[in-house]
Each structure stands twice: as C-alpha cells, then as structure tokens.
Amino acid sequence: MVTVLAVLKLSLAVLWASLGISSSLKLSLSASANASSWSWKLSSGSNASTRLFQYGSTVAIYNPLARRFVQMNKQHQTMSATPPHDGDLSLPMHCTYERFTLVDAGHGRVALHNTLSNRFIKMAGEHVTISPIKASNHLPHDWGSEFFEVVDAGDGMVGLHQPGNNRFISMNEGGGLYGSPHHGNDQVPHGWTHQRFFLVPERPYLVPGSVVALYNRPANRFLRMHDTYMDGSGHPPAPLVFPGDWGWERFKVVDAGFGRVALHSHQWHRFVKMDHQSVTVSPHSDTGLGL
C-alpha cells in the first residue's frame, strides 16, 4: 500500500512505499493524540537524559493554551499561528507552514528552519519574525537572533529562549506571537502559559530509508529514471494513483549528511543528479549508499 503526500505549494507529491523514522524522542500517546494526553519519554541514547529534542528532527510547535501551531507564512513572509486546533496533534502532510527542522546552532542551542520558506525563526526585540533566505545547512555562525535555548517547562512542554534578547517566544490566546518580558533561561516562570509549547515530532517529507515516487500535478506524471537519462512517466490511471508494477519511478531516500538526501533507483543502480540546469543520472552505485 502506498501513502500519498501532496505538497500543494510545490505542485509535487511524494508517495511512500515504506517508511522508517528514527528519533531520540519516543512518544507515549493515548488513542487520541491530543495535548491533554501528550507525554514524553526520552530514549536511553547518548545525552538523552539532558536533551529535550534531537537535532535534525522535524517538529511542529504547539501552544496548548491558544490551541494553535506556530507557522511561518511564506506568502506574507511573517510569523503567525494556525486557527485553533484540537484533537490529534500530528499534522496532515500537506501542512508546510507549520513544520520546522531543529538545526544545531552550537553550544546546545537550536535554530528553527522552515523548509518551504527556506528561512529561520528570528527574534528582534519584542518581535518574532523571520530571517533572510538561508538553507538549513548554511546557518551563519555570526547570526545570533535565530539561535534559541530549549528550556524544560514541565509536563512535556518547553520554552524557547532567545539569549541575545533574553526573552521567550510567546503566543497569546488569539495566536499572536511576541517576545516575553526579559527573563533568563533558568526556567519558564510559574504561571507563564504563553511561553509553553509542545515540540511535536512530525514526519519529514523525505525520510532516509523510505521509498518514494515524485509526482508533478500540472503534468500529471511521475519522475522516471532510464538507464542514461531522466524524464516523466506516462499518465497514471488517475491523479496520484501509483501503479503497483511501476519500478522506474521508485526512488530510495538516502542520507547524504548535513540534513541532505539523495534519491537512488534500485532498478538502475543510479542516483538522480542535477548538472547545472539538467536533471540526469549518476554513474552506477550498486548499494545506494556510496555517497
């Protein structure tokens, strides 16, 4: 069975044939994965006893008081929040504004990167805003307003403290984002509710180890590899319907390091390659791991 992910802004769909997710965070959820039933357990991995997050993971940032997710609005280039949301905290796969990658900013700090906007969350005084365009693996060392400390706020929640401004990211009941009054990173004060968030693990779009197909909605075709070149498939039986006997359109997602991935065809033992403006194929690689 193939699961469909439609990324509407990119007119692209990714279809999973298999999926495996590793994380140092293990969730304990009731049948309805809502905020009231949310609890966290840290695995026994390295530094798990002191870490509330895992670098490289994809999360949604949820405030239980406002019942809203933080979002980065690409169209308006602003930080905002979703409408109130109850029930399951797992985002639908088409939700792109609300997904953030936890990037290592050094000294135990994180930077929060939205792939769709290709920008980081930034704090400027009392304002929560967005950085200039910057890839997640090119975080400048001389930036500072994009670096945050993750502070244990109890009951599975965290505070996101910006050391340069000495403030926490805050969300009021109406979804407005702002910087808290000045406060150190030693704790989130008792009674501060605007500053408490769940970091909800979300499934990345391209997970190393999964097998995917890439679909272009306007053309109604899948990306296809031949032995020596790339093209588009024939039209499927219906939009987003992937025929089970197709193989040239299947690609394994391979970890390429530094948050990057490569797409490998088991059929042809080659990777998808971009050469200037052309999408082509790599030399043979039998294992899909020879990066």
The answer to whether residue 46 scores a pLDDT higher than 60 is: no
For the stretch 170-211, pLDDT in tens is 999 999 999 999 999 999 999 999 999 999 998 877 888 889
pTM of the model: 0.71
Give the residue-averaged pLDDT of 132-149.
Answer: 95
- Domains of the chain (ranges; CATH) run 1-21+205-291 (2.80.10.50), 24-201 (2.80.10.50)
Residue 27 predicted with pLDDT over 80:
no
pLDDT tops 70 at residue 40: no
Q: Is there a contact between 3 and 15 (Cβ–Cβ < 8 Å)?
A: yes
* pLDDT tens digits, one per residue of 224-272: 999 999 999 999 999 888 999 999 999 999 988 866 889 999 999 999 9
What residues have CB less than 8 Å from 76, skipping those under 6 apart? none
List pLDDT tens digits, range 103-116: 999 999 999 999 99
Residue 40, phi then psi, degrees to nearest 5:
-115, 145
Integer Cα distance of 157 and 198 in angstroms: 5
Q: What is the DSSP letter of 37?
A: G
pLDDT of residue 291: 57
So what's the pLDDT on residue 18? 34
Q: What is the per-residue pLDDT for 15? A: 53
Burial of 199 (0-12, 13-18, 19+ CB in 10 A): buried
Range 216-228 average pLDDT: 94
What's the CA gap between 14 and 213, in Å, rounded? Answer: 5
Q: Alpha carbon 261 to chain centroid distance? A: 14
* CB proximity list for 146: less than 8 A, separation 6 or greater: 105, 111, 112, 120, 121, 122, 131, 139
User: What distance in Å separates the CA atoms of residue 205 and residue 224, rounded to the nearest whole number?
Assistant: 19
Contact 104, 123 (CB under 8 A): no
At 67-121, the pLDDT tens digits run 999 999 988 888 999 999 988 888 887 889 999 999 999 999 999 999 999 999 9
Tell me the pLDDT band of 31, cut-offs 50, 70 and 90: very low
